Homo-oligomer: A and B are copies of this chain.
Amino acid sequence: MIRILLAEDQAMMRGALAVLLGLEGDIEVVAQVGTGTEIVPTALEVRPDVALLDIELPGISGLEAARELAEQIPECRVMILTTFSRPGYVREAMAAGAVGFLAKDGPVEELADAIRRVLRGETVLDPALAAATLRAAPNPLTARERDVLAASENGSSIADIAGRLFLSPSTVRNYLSAAIGKTGTRNKTEAALTARRNGWLA
């Protein structure tokens, strides 16, 4: 029996996947969590063979959890299951030690088979997605630029961001200006959107 830990924030999706995987004769969902924070503690307890992680979760992200799992439970294979096939996500997932990357816009039928394949030691990654990721520019933003962009995502003013990050408004404006240049956009809102779309934030 393949023991699975399933991390997904949308309860209905989580439940549906759990039932579906449970129908496979050789797969057993031994734990389900709805937040990123629960992933590592739960995994330490149940010792799953495969962790199936969404990226965008409350608490820590699935990518961060993947890094921690790789460190603390190296024998547990990590597979990322996400809504967005963003180049930055694929890159980060692989860097975090994931051995599988599946998009939620693919057919469900692939899921169980993908799990079996990663357990056999194979890497599951759509070749077209891999190529697109390699073709796409890697994250050009510095850590500080990422911070500032992330802080601007809710439409905050520069003064707000400066206050929140304990920086001077001028500095924030400089970082934003740099980010606008690097993203090839025209203002901070566009910059934040494209950075997010490319998976360059969080």
Measured between alpha carbons, how far is A111 from B15 in the docked complex, in Å? Answer: 11
Q: Is A187 an interface position by the 8 A CB rule?
A: yes
Would you call A142 an interface residue if the criterion is a C-beta within 8 Å of the partner chain's C-beta atoms?
A: no
Q: Give a binary string over A10-23; 1 marks a CB under 8 Å from any B CB, 0 the rest.
A: 11110111011001
Q: A12-B104, A12-B108, A104-B12 are in contact. Are A187 and B155 (CB under 8 A)?
A: yes
Q: Are B15 and A108 in contact (CB under 8 A)?
A: yes
Q: Are B107 and A154 in contact (CB under 8 A)?
A: no
Which of A's residues lie within 8 Å of B, judged by CB? 9-13, 15-17, 19-20, 23, 81, 83, 104-109, 111, 154-157, 185-193
A-B contact pairs, 10 of them (CB 8 A): A10-B83, A10-B104, A12-B105, A12-B106, A19-B20, A19-B108, A20-B20, A154-B190, A155-B193, A157-B187
